[in-house]
Structure 1
Amino acid sequence: MAAASTTPFEYSPLDEQKNEIRVLRILPGVDASTLECRLEHIALEDGSDYDALSYAWHDPKLYSEAQRDLKHNLLVNGKCLEIGNNLATFLQSARGKQAESRQIWIDAICINQKDVYERNAQVLRMRRIYQKANQVVIWLGPASNRGDDAVRFLKLVNLTKNNDLSAEWKAMASFLVRAWWNRIWVVQEIVLAKEALV
C-alpha cells in the first residue's frame, strides 16, 4: 500500500480526436486500507475491456445526513481525489470481490467534474460508453437483509399466489425506495447495457 498522499489529483486532458474516455483500474487491497486506483485513458472505439457503473451519487434512504455528506479520499495515480460516501462504499465492495484489478467507467471519477466543457462533451458520449461496456454494474447500495429478501421475493412473485406475503412486500418496498430507482439516467444505463449486474 502506498503512503497516503495529500497532493490533489489533477486530470490530464482527453484527446477528442481519439474519442478518449478515462477508466478506473481498482487496485487490490484489504478491508479498510486506503482505496487505490489508476486512472487510464482509452479510445472508446478500440474495443477496450471495461465495465460501467450505474449508481446514485447520494442515497438518503441508506445513509444518515452525516454519512451522506461524508467524503473519502481515493488515491488516484498516487494523488488524492475526494469522492462521496456511496461511491467509496461501492469501491470497497468491488475491490473485495475481485481477484485482479479491473477497469470500470464511473462518471464521478472518469469525467473531470470541474471542467464544464469536458463534462458536456462526455455526457454526449455516455450512450456509447454504456453500449461499449462489457457489463453495466448496478450499485443499489450496501447489501442488507431487506435487499436480499426483496430479490428472493421477486423470484417468488411469479411462482406463488400466496396473499400472506406482507413481510416480503415490506422488503420489496424497502428495496425499491433506494435512490438508484429515482435517477433519470438509469433508463439509458440499463437499456444500453450488453449485460447488467446487480
Structure 2
Amino acid sequence: MSLDFNVPQYSYEPLDEGNHGIRLMTLLPAPTREAEIVCDLRNVRLTETDVPSFEALSYTWGSPMSPSRLRVAFLTNEKIDVTRNLTEALPCLRDTEKPRALWIDAVCINQKPLAERGQQVQRMAHIYSLAERVIVWLGLDNTDSRLTMATYY
C-alpha cells in the first residue's frame, strides 16, 4: 500500500453511542497476498443480545511514521492511514474467497474526535469479549520469533 496523497481520506459515519454502536471492517477477499487491501466499514449495534459475527484483532500499532493507506469504501476509493504493522497483518488475515468481518481499533474507531475515541476505548474489553475469536498478531515471521516460539512451546 503506497501513500497516494491525491486520494481522499475516509469520512467516518458517526456512531450511535446511545444504541451501542460500533464499526466493523469487512476485509474483502483477493486471490494473492500482493493484491491491494480493500475493505468496507459499517456501523452496527453491539449488545449482549445483539451480536454480529466478527473477529477482533489484537496487535501493537507500531510507529505512526511512514504510514500506509488502507483503501476503504470500494466505490468511493477513500483511504485511511494505517501503521506498517497493520499493513503487514492484513494480507495474512485476508481470505482468497470470502469477506472477513473484523474489529480493529485503529480502523474501527475514528481516531480524530476525542469523545468517540474515549467512549469506544472504554468499550474495548466488551467488544473483545463478544468477538467470535480474538486474533493476536505478533508480526511477520523472523529468526527471533522462531526462536521465541521454540523456547516457549
How would you bin the TM-score normalised by the shorter chain? 0.7 to 0.9
Task: Tell me, in whole angstroms, the C-alpha distance in 1 between the residues paired with 2:44 and 2:19.
Answer: 9
**Structure 1 segment 104-183 matched on structure 2, within 5 A:** 104-155=102-153
Aligned to 2:56: 52
Partner in structure 2 of residue 63 of structure 1: none
Question: Which ranges of 4 or more aligned residues in structure 1 deviate by more than 4 Å?
Answer: none
TM-score, with length taken from structure 1: 0.67
Matched, 1:83 2:82: yes
Name the structure where helix makes up a greater proportion of residues.
1
State, as a whole percentage, how many aligned pairs show the same letter: 33
1:89 CA drift (Å): 0.6
Is contact 2:25-2:104 (8 Å) kept? yes
Larger radius of gyration: 1
Q: CA deviation at 1:53?
A: 1.0
Q: Give the secondary structure class of the aligned counterpart of 2:115.
A: helix
> Which fold has the larger relative contact order, with Cα–Cα distance below 8 Å and residues 6 or more apart in sequence?
2
The gaps in structure 1 that reach 5 residues or longer are 60-67, 156-198
Paired residue secondary structure (2:9):
coil
Q: Supply the RMSD in Å over aligned alpha carbons.
A: 1.9
SS in 2 for 1:127: helix
Query: What's the CA shift for 1:73?
Result: 1.1
Matched residue, 2:18: 17
1:98 offset after TM fit, Å?
5.5
Match of 1:26 in 2: 27
CA–CA distance in 2 between the matches of 1:34 and 1:47? 30
1:124 deviation in Å? 1.4
Structure with greater strand share of residues: 2
3-state SS in 2 of match to 1:6: coil
- Counterparts of 1:98 and 1:151, CA distance in 2: 27
